[in-house]
Structure formats: structure tokens, C-alpha cells
Structure 1
Amino acid sequence: MYYVFDVAVVVVLILTLFYLYLITYGEGMLRNRPEAMQVASSTIITNAEGTEISRLHTQTKGYSEYAELNAMPDLLKMAFLATEDRRFYNHDGLDFIGLGRAIMQDILHMNLSQGGSSITQQLARNLYLNGDKTLSRKMNEISIAMALEKKYSKDEILEMYLNQIYMGRQEYGVKAAAWRYFGMKDMHQLKLWQIATLAGMPKGPSIYNPVDHPELSKQRRAVILGLMHEQGLITRKQMLQARGVDYTPPETVLNATTTPGLSEPAYVSAVDAVIQEASRLTGKSEAETQSAGWVIQTGLDEQAQLAMAETFADATRFPDDRQDEQVQASMVIIDQHNGEVKAMMGGRNPLKGGINRAIMDARQPGSSFKPIIAYGPALESGKFKPESILPDKRMQYGSYQPSNLGGRYSGSIAMSQALQKSINAPAVWLLHETGLKYAHQFAARLGIELGKEDLNLSIALGGVHQGVSPMKMAQAYTVFANHGKLNTAHLIRKITDSRGRTIYAHKSENKQVISSSTANAMTRMLQNVVSQGTGSRAQLGQHKVAGKTGTTQAAIPGVSREANRDLWFVGYTSNWTAAVWMGFDHTDAEHYMKSGSGVAAELFATVMRSATQ
């Protein structure tokens, strides 16, 4: 008698503890891990034409696009309920009938193969737990499901479930899947066979998605259509018609890369730069930016970007490649009239999250810096004109004694001729006469801030301490191209949230930072550089090009003095300004540029010719 009583007390105690665990564990999880409930939706990036070029990974998952329940057709919701949890609106998180049936199957088969999980349980598992088939995980799942049912309405739970369910190929949620597999943005346009295909995927996303396994997907679709007919959701005729449709991938799938949603390879560097810019503009981290569900509109031009990518893929453009290492290159094209970046390549084989040489301040600009630091300030000072006669002789400035290439001096030369032939001595003399402080201020107005380490005359020849990026060089030259007006270089036109509200919109400054007379005189001189001087390989036929080459020597002991480290060309037409850099990532005795800056000028011409056809 006492033994039975003791057992009963123990059983009651165990059940009480079990019940307390069920009601406290789940509530604790919801309270302590609020980030699990945050809405994550992939940010979309478009080019200037409004074409989607990238759909970004969310913070912890793949690609997702959140949709409210009213954006989903009723038949889609009913198809998922018919398949996953037909009594969803009639239970409190646990479908005891389905659970009982699953337990019986587990007992018969002596394993835990049957889930019997309600939609709420599946949501709990997907948000907070893993897929382990253990008794403790099942208890935790039930507890969290109970807490979810207590805190949220049925519609809210169904909406969350349909937005986070895994649908194969790194797609999360029905909206992302509808776009990925059927090219449908508006889910109300989905046909019955497409709805049934989507509803069949959660059981096995990797084998039932129509891209990877169209036949298995079709078989699974038939099962779902049978369930929908059995529950009176569709007629027999509708069922048979939807069963017979063969899947044909839409253009959005046919054009997709091997990783769904990843931008076209041509846009990889630009997309990385867009994410960084969006993070800087909004104060959000890059991870938050990627899963904010925004639409980021850029000014990237498809024709220009593809032209740049195709040219960079042509190995004949890079004659100094070694067997063990490729020559690297980067390029930026900017519309000088508004500052929009039209195209960008950060390397010859850019990787997502990899080195973006187009925006790194890491390279010495050589003589391409002369217009920014020597000739531009001299013109702006009013003391010099393109026809001014400058000394071209060996001179010493304290401990610094620059020399001309080949040691040749003419005694005196007109400013425009000195720039055209890229002679060193006159450039250094001009900087000395104009003053380092004034020259620094001039460069800053063009967007290039120089440090105290650069308060020396060697910067006249591009000896910049930290180095500059092609982006900054191109932006500086846009001021010459735009009659002395600066528009800050940028990729992003506008950012809107998931509801279409504007978060950020760029406003072009078109700020007069140097005189138009200085800019126009510089343009005439730089046009001579291309038509008659060192930049002749940048010519574009009927389109006038203004620009400047730049070369820095490798200066490696035991290697020819003609070995180079950095090759540049920065130039512009009446529409666009571009900067090209070429070189090895690490220059040494085995890896240096044998070519001169003419190959950079030629790369500029090849890209610009294709980009503007």
C-alpha cells in the first residue's frame, strides 16, 4: 500500500517537473534569444537599368525575401497546411492525433524516424534547435512550440513558418523559392502546379526541388495534389491537369550562376563595394545590410561592366603574366557629371569578399599624379599657363635631386610639352614654386587627402606614402573632366526598405572646387598627352580622350632599371572618366612588369570602346 503511494508521489512529482520544464524552457528561449525571431530578408542590388545583379546572403542562412501572409495566395497556404499540418488552426501547437500516429510508427519500426511535428513545432525547431532525433530535442521542441502559441496568433506563426522554411538551393521561404524556381515576384500569379511543387519541397528540399531533380519533384507534386483533392481544395480535373505539367526553368534560373542569387561574376567587385558603401551610409553592419531586405539601386552600367569583365578575362592584354602568377589589374569608370560609378573590377579573377584593388589605397600613381599635385595647382595659382616656359635641368632641392628618365634635359620647355612628354624635372620645379601646402590643399579639393609624410617634393612624381586607389584617381580626374566641379564618386543611387520607403537617396553636389579655366586648360594639355604623347595607345578614334600615364620603377637590386612596379592610365572622354592600374600584388625579382604604361592605356581604350558602343 505504502509502496504504491510512494510510486504515485514520484510519478506526480516527475510529471509536475516535466510540466514545469515544458512551460519554462520554451518561454526562456523566446526571452533569451530574441534575435532568432528577427525578420531576415535578402537585400537586392540592381544596376542602373533596374536589373537585379545580386541577392545577398542573410546573416545566418542563404537567400530570403520576407512576405506578409496577405501577399500569399490562399491556395498556397492551404497547400502547405494540407501537406504539413491539416489541423493547424484547431490545436494549441501539438497535433496529438498526428503525434500519436507518429509514435505508433516509431514503436513499430523501433526508431525515431517519424516526426509528427505540427507547423508550430517545425518553426520552433528551425528557429531554435537542430535536426537531431533525440527525446530531449523533442521535449524542447514541444516546449518552444507551446511558448510560441502563447505569444503569437496562428496567422503570425504560419507567416513566420512560410518565410523561414528551407526550400532547397540556399532559398528560405516561399517568396524566395517562387522567384528562384519560377521567376515569380507576385505569388498571386503562381499556378496550381507551381503551388503544389513548392508545398512538396520541405520534406526533402535537396531532392524535391525542380531544378536539381525535376522527375522526383513532379512525383512529389502529384502526392501533394492528391492530398489537396482529398481535402476538397481542388477538383479532380485541376489535379490531373497540374500533375501533367513538365517543369521548364524560367530565364531567371537559366541565367543564374551555380550559387543561386549570387551576382553575375562580372559584378563581384562592385557588389562588395556596394555593401561596404551601404554600411557606411546607414550605420548598419555589413551583415545587417545583407539581411535587411532592402533594394539598393546603383548606377552600374551593364554594358560597361560586361565590357570590363570581358577585357579583363582576355589574357593577351596581360603580356607580363608568369607561369606561377598572373599580373593583376583593377579599373573604375565614373560618370563625371554625377559621380556615379558605372563599372568596377577589383582584379582579374575577383572573388566575393576578396581583395578589391579598385578601392584600396595601396599603389604609387607615378606620373599620373602630376596633374593633381603639380600642374593643376600651378594653373590654379594663376602664375602659370600651358604655354609658360619651365626649366628642364638637373636641380637639387636640399637632399632631394630628381632626374629625368634617361638623364636627358632640354634646358627649358613649355608646360604643355613637359606634361605631354611626362618629363620629371619641370614637374618638381612647379611643385616647389607653387608650394607643398597649396598643392596639398588642391589635391584635397579633388578628393585626395595627403598626410604629413607627403610634405615632400617627391610627390610631384607620384611618390605617395600610403598610395592611392584607382577610385580616388578617377574621381580626381573627374574634376578636370567636369569643368572644375566635383561629384563624390559613389555606387549607390538609392536605398529603399521592404515596404518601398526611402532610407537613403544620393544628392549630387556638382560643387565647383577649382576654376573652370584651370580644368579646361588641363583638359587641353591632357588631350595632347593622348594624341601626341605618352598616352597615345588610349586613343578612341572619333572620341577625344584626355589622360595621363603613370609608371613606378620596381627598384629591385640586381634587376634591370627598366623593370616596373605599377602601370597606370587615368583618362576621360566627354562622358566618362576611368582609371586603370596594372601590376603584381607582390613585386620581387621574379615578378615585375616588363611592359610600360602603354599596356594600361591600351586596356583603358579597349574597355571604353566596348563600353560606349
Structure 2
Amino acid sequence: MQRRSGNARKPKRGRLRTLFRLTLAVAALGAAALGILLVYLYQSPLPPIDSDQNSIMFDASGEPAAVFSPAEKNQANVKLDQIAPSLIQATLAVEDRHFYEHIGFDFKGMARAVLVNLEHLDKVQGASTLTQQLARNLYLTHERTWTRKAKEALYTAQLEMKYSKPDILQMYLNQIYYGHGAYGIEAAARTYFGKPAKDLTLAESAMLAGIPKGPTYYSPFNHMKNAKDRQKTVLGTMVDNGYITREQADQAYTQLLNFQSPSLRTTDDKAPYFRDYVRSVLIDDLGISEDLLDHGGLKVYTTLDTEAQAAAEAAVQSGVGNDGELEAALVSIDPRNGYVKALVGGTNYIKSQYNHVFATTRQPGSSFKPIMYLTALASKKMTVASQFNSEPTLFHYDDNRKTYSPKNFGEKYLGEINMKRAIAASDNIYAVNTLMTVGADNVIDMARRMGITSKLQAVPSLALGTSPVSPFEMASAFAVISNQGRSVKPVAVLKVTDAFDSVLYEAPKAQSVQVVEPAAAYVLTHMMEGVFDTGGTGSRVSALMKRPVAGKTGTTSTDAWLVGFTPELSTAVWVGYDKGKTLGTAASRKAAPIFATYTEKALAKVPPKMFPVPEGVVSAYIDTATGKLADASCGDKELEVFIAGTEPKETCTGSAPPAKSEPAPEPAKEQSHSWWQDLKRWWME
């Protein structure tokens, strides 16, 4: 019996050894398979991220101004150091307190969640780590299937293998949904509080960190009580994890939060015409694809001055009034560097996205004349004292084969007048005489150098602005006059970066080209200031202008213009109808008030400055009747400025000239408009 018992124990021990060996083999195979799987996962690329990130347009101060993407998804990536530490701590405390300890899966948390859920016979606690949530948000849907869970596990492992913990946390905070179309903490901070994520307070951070658990249920815009309860929970977990003290938590909970008004949450409503212009520059000029712009999360930094833009939009709206068909456009450029500061392409972007600022079908009328007069001054064929007879005149051209007979507005003719009077009164006869003197081809060449690219006809009527040009071209050309004859190419885009701030494009330093000598530009500016004086076509708005301004009006049967400038801004305003409807008297007078209202508001924080007098400018008293130098025996006289060497050499009586003309002194830099013109005359004397 004992022998049989011993024999029985041997097979039993043999089976145990076999089972042990089999277990070891299975474990080895499992370990090998796991190793192979891990190597495969490490070497295999992750799927492309389904990332539909909005590209954001920033204004000159670095604040978001518009969204390029057509979708409603609002997203902007930021780096960890651009996020408030309190938000990072709040997120880790409430979503994944062991984030820096686990390998993508919190097994203790899973076990704890299973026990809690069994106890309540319901799923009341989850155990997804930030990495698992990121994998789900980046690559998967939210369907509850075993296939999806298996893929989530694989992608979670790959994320942990390929990225550092800070990288994973950064991606998570840029991807998670916070409700109301806001994806990522930057969009959420601006949506709810109107500020960047780096400026969030503890109270704001706790509020936002609680939203992803239920973006609708915990939205303070939808359910404030739920949001406050969730905020309290988040603050409590931060205390438990040692991030803050109980006292700090209580103070944060009782803090009154200033939420952004729901009506102001989107950035897409600022400067839509400017945004469309920038979009065309990015695609057509810089070669950025539409797909990348719409979905690539680009950051586009522009020259937009939001205060000037707001002033432009307000001026256009108030200036147009209740005429539902009347359209208007305004574009304003800093002549010193070419920065496009404000752009309004129409009265109602929702009604019409057509950007009238770039419309090349509008005749500028008399607002084109300063380009011609600059040609005359720069060529030294004419001066401010040059005279023509303002009377009905028949002009012959094209080798005397054609004739042209212009008329003045209202059939009003002024007799013998000089250039300054002609500019102020917008005399057509004087203008055509000037064109015939200097040559239409030379005027066209000057216009090209000043930034006019539209086709111009070399005919006498060119002097009256019959060749269509765009408001953008006119503002660019007048910027040359303001900038002492220097042309700076207009620019709107300063820099473009990708979603993580790598620079894709940076505008080169502005280069200026001297189109005409500064003295010629100043002499013309001095005459154009007279447009706003008594008797000038812009005198109706002189009371609105509290600073030195030069400009020129222009009116046709279908278009009204005022193009003008200060030392800081060159602005073109156009008013008209899209259907070619004839302008009535009231509508034809709306451009000037829009220009004046905008200019004063846009420069409200800038002290008034007089136009600097460059070298090569002299002043002299001129007899208004003859255009010659005035002496004591002459009648009416005016103090005028000339390019040195072009001032008259004879007096009105034909005698020797008086004392040699002296250079015009530099006027005061800043004066009040109520007496700046008198002061300037005093200085010039």
C-alpha cells in the first residue's frame, strides 16, 4: 500500500511541474508578445490628428480680432507656460491626480472606480487618465464599444511612449472641449472671461477646470448653480492635493467672477472686411493654402488698430444714416510705415461681403487732382502762383483731331486763379489746363509711382478723375504726399506662425522710395490744407477738425469722395450706390463728414501735429491778381510757399523784387486747431 501511495505522489508532482512549466511558457510567450507589441507601437506612427483648429487674426496690440475658419469651432493652441499654473493644478487635481506617476493607465484608480460603481450599482465614478481622454479626443469617437476601448488603450500607450508628460498635458489642455464652441483652454478663457489663459485667476481656473466633465451641464452661461457647485468640488480637490490652502479655496469660491457677455464671446465679428483682405494676402501673396488657413490653427499678426477700426465703422454707420441702399468704404493707412490701420468695405457685412475698398470701377472725380498737381510741382513747370483763366474753354488734343470742353460744377467760373485757389474750389478748367501743360503721360507715370495700379486713360478728362481707381489706391497715393514724397508699400500682415508659434512668415522691414522731393510734397500739402478753409470744398466739416488736415473732395454723378491725410494717417472715404444710382445732393455730401468724424476719433489720443516743413521750401508774398511777388504798391496779397528757386522773380509792378525770399521756418510741432492756422500764418511771416 505504501509503495502504491508513493507511486501516486510522483504523478501528482509531475503534473504540478508540467503546469508550472506551462505557466512559465505562457508567461514567456505573453511577455514576448507584449514586448513585440510595445516595439510595434513605439515604431508605428500615430494616426493623423483630426485637428480642425481655427486660425486667429490678431490686431496690432496682439489681441484676437477675427477667426478665419469657416466652422464654428473656436480653438487656439498655447504652450504650457502660456497657461495659468492654477488652471493646470486644478485640471490635474480634478481629472488625473496621479498623472505624473502612471504610465497612461491608473490601475489603482480603475480598481477604486469598479468598487464604487459596484457599491452604487451604477457608473458614478470614472477612471480615465488625461492620456486616455486625449487619445479619445484626438483619434476616436465617443461610442461605447469594446473595439473603441481597445483602440483607446493602444493609442494611450503610444502617446505615453512618444511624448513627455508635459507634452501630453499641453496637448490635452489645447484639445479638451469647454462648451460653447471653445476647444482648448485659450479659447475657453477668452469665451468665458475675455482674457488669455495665462491671466486666469484661481477662481476662474477652478470654474473652467470643472466644465469638461459636462460642458453643457456645468456651463456658467447655462446653469450657474451647477457651475458653482462644480467649482467648489474642484477647489476641494486642489486642497486635498496640497496645491492650495483651505483659506485660499474659500476666498476663491466667494470671489465674484466677471464673465464675458455671451454676445461678445466670438472674435469673428471684428473687422470682417479687414479679415477678408488679410485672407486674400495670405493666400494670393504669401502662398498659404486655404486648407491650412481654415484648419491649421495659424496665428496671423496684423497692423489692425482696433480703436481706429471701431472709429471707422462708427463713422460709416452714422454717416450713411438710414439710406438702406447707400454704400460706403473707408481705408486708413499710416503713411510713415504703410500699416493698414482700419478698413471698412461696406455698410453691412452680413448683407454684402463685397469689399468696396478694392473696387476699381469707381471714378475718383476731383480727388484725383492732387496727383496731377504734384506732377506739375515736381516738374517745376508750375507753382502755386501759376495762373489760368477759369472760364468755358475748348481744349484740343490728339494732334488737334479731338476736342474736350469741361465745365465747372454749377457753371461757376472764377476768372484768373492760382493753383491754391483751384485746389480749394476744385476748379475743372484750371485742372485740365494743368494736365495739358505737364502731359497726361507724365501724370500717369506719377500715379504709378504713388501706388495707382488701375488702368488710366491719357486723355484730358483724366484731370477730372474719369479713370476708375479704388479707395485703397487713393489712400496709398495720398500717403506719399503726407510722407514728404516717400512711398512705403502698404502692409497688413506682419507675422504668421503655426499653432505652436513657429514662424512661417515675417514681413520685411519697410522700405521707402523717394517719389518726389520733400519740398514738392510739402507745397502741395500746404495748398490742400486750404480745402478745409473758408471757400474750400471741405469747409463744411472744418468745425469738426481739431488738427491740421490736408485733403481733396471728389464728386461724380454716382460717387462721392474725400481723400485726405494728417502726418499719422492717410484716409480715403467713398460713398455711392452699387446699382449705379445717381447720388442726390444729400448723399453726395456724406463722404466729408465720415472722413472728419473718423479722423478725429481715430487720433483722439494723439496730440495735433503740424506738417513738418522740409528743407528746400521758401515763402513769399504773392499778388493774388497777377501771381507775381507783392510789394507795397500791390493790392491783395497772400503768403505762399514754393520749392526753392521756383518762386516768382518779378513783382506785380514789374520792378525789381523785394528782399530775397527766406526759407520757411519750422512751425510749432503741436497746436490746437482753433488757432493753429493763424499760428502757422504768423510763423510763416
* TM-score of Structure 1 vs Structure 2, range by shorter chain: 0.7 to 0.9
Measured on the aligned residues, the alpha-carbon RMSD in Å equals 4.5
Superposed CA offset, 1:175-211 (max 9, x none): 44345545665749742x4443232111112332335
Map 1:377-416 to 2 at 5 A: 377-390=375-388, 392-397=392-397, 398=401, 401-405=404-408, 408=411, 413-414=416-417, 416=419
Q: What is the distance in 2 between the residues matched to 1:402 and 1:545?
A: 33
Say whether 1:549 aligns with 2:553: yes
Q: What is the distance in 2 between the residues matched to 1:361 and 1:131?
A: 52
Give, in angstroms, the shift of residue 439 of structure 1.
Answer: 2.0
Change beyond 3 A, Cα 1:542–1:169:
closer
Superposed CA offset, 1:553-612 (max 9, x none): 2xxxxxxxxxxx111011234543321101122224xx7544364321222223223344
Query: 1:402 touches 1:424 (CA, 8 Å); kept in 2?
Result: no
Partner of 2:265: 260
Say whether 1:313 aligns with 2:317: yes
Query: 1:59 touches 1:288 (CA, 8 Å); kept in 2?
Result: no
The 10-residue stretch of structure 1 (402-411 or 147-156) with the greater mean CA deviation from structure 2: 402-411
Superposed CA offset, 1:217-268 (max 9, x none): 11112333444555666666655x267424411xxx44x6724251674x44
What percent of counterpart residues are identical? 34
Change beyond 3 A, Cα 1:301–1:222:
closer
The 10-residue stretch of structure 1 (340-349 or 268-277) with the greater mean CA deviation from structure 2: 268-277
Match of residue 591, structure 2, among 591, 600, 603 = 600
Give, in angstroms, the shift of residue 272 of structure 1.
Answer: 4.5
Say whether 1:158 aligns with 2:169: yes
Give, in angstroms, the shift of residue 174 of structure 1.
Answer: 3.0
Partner of 1:376: 374
Say whether 1:476 aligns with 2:474: no
Give, in angstroms, the shift of residue 393 of structure 1.
Answer: 0.6
Query: 1:393 touches 1:425 (CA, 8 Å); kept in 2?
Result: yes
Map 1:124-523 to 2 at 5 A: 124-178=135-189, 180-181=191-192, 185=196, 187=198, 190-191=201-202, 193-228=203-238, 241=250, 244-249=253-258, 253-254=259-260, 258-262=263-267, 265=270, 267-274=271-278, 276-277=280-281, 283-285=287-289, 288=292, 294=299, 296=301, 298=303, 300=305, 302=307, 304-314=308-318, 317-318=319-320, 321-322=322-323, 325-350=324-349, 354-372=353-371, 374-390=372-388, 392-397=392-397, 398=401, 401-405=404-408, 408=411, 413-414=416-417, 416=419, 417-451=421-455, 454-464=457-467, 467-491=468-492, 504=506, 507-523=509-525
Amino acid at match of 1:487: V
Which structure 1 segments of 5+ residues have no match? 1-14, 554-564
The 10-residue stretch of structure 1 (140-149 or 179-188) with the greater mean CA deviation from structure 2: 179-188
Query: Radius of gyration: which is bigger?
Result: 2
Query: 1:68 touches 1:159 (CA, 8 Å); kept in 2?
Result: yes
Give, in angstroms, the shift of residue 472 of structure 1.
Answer: 1.8
Change beyond 3 A, Cα 1:138–1:431:
farther
SS state of the match for residue 358, structure 1? helix
Query: 1:69 touches 1:159 (CA, 8 Å); kept in 2?
Result: no
Amino acid at match of 1:221: Q
SS state of the match for residue 580, structure 1? strand
How many pairs are equivalent?
A: 562
Q: What is the distance in 2 between the residues matched to 1:205 and 1:287?
A: 28
Change beyond 3 A, Cα 1:330–1:411:
closer
Partner of 2:76: 64
Q: What is the distance in 2 between the residues matched to 1:353 and 1:190?
A: 41
Give, in angstroms, the shift of residue 476 of structure 1.
Answer: 0.9
Q: What is the distance in 1 between the residues matched to 2:560 and 2:212?
A: 54
Q: TM-score, normalised by structure 2?
A: 0.68
Superposed CA offset, 1:24-68 (max 9, x none): 9989995552x5479x68646244xx3735264668731324123
Superposed CA offset, 1:93-127 (max 9, x none): 45566668889999999999997543223212222
Partner of 1:560: none
Say whether 1:583 aligns with 2:581: no
Query: 2:116 touches 2:125 (CA, 8 Å); kept in 1?
Result: yes
Amino acid at match of 1:598: R
Query: 1:566 touches 1:593 (CA, 8 Å); kept in 2?
Result: no
Q: What is the distance in 1 between the residues matched to 2:269 and 2:576?
A: 25
Q: What is the distance in 1 between the residues matched to 2:336 and 2:120?
A: 72
Say whether 1:566 aligns with 2:559: yes
Query: 2:388 touches 2:430 (CA, 8 Å); kept in 1?
Result: yes
Amino acid at match of 2:537: T
SS state of the match for residue 313, structure 1? helix
Query: 2:56 touches 2:64 (CA, 8 Å); kept in 1?
Result: no
Change beyond 3 A, Cα 1:347–1:157:
same
Query: 1:64 touches 1:171 (CA, 8 Å); kept in 2?
Result: no
Partner of 1:6: none
Query: 2:84 touches 2:201 (CA, 8 Å); kept in 1?
Result: no
Query: 1:440 touches 1:449 (CA, 8 Å); kept in 2?
Result: no
SS state of the match for residue 574, structure 2? strand
Partner of 1:45: 58
Q: What is the distance in 1 between the residues matched to 2:365 and 2:345?
A: 20
Q: What is the distance in 2 between the residues matched to 1:53 and 1:78?
A: 26
Q: What is the distance in 1 between the residues matched to 2:481 and 2:243?
A: 68
Change beyond 3 A, Cα 1:125–1:147:
same
The 10-residue stretch of structure 1 (540-549 or 282-291) with the greater mean CA deviation from structure 2: 282-291
Change beyond 3 A, Cα 1:189–1:521:
closer
Amino acid at match of 2:569: W
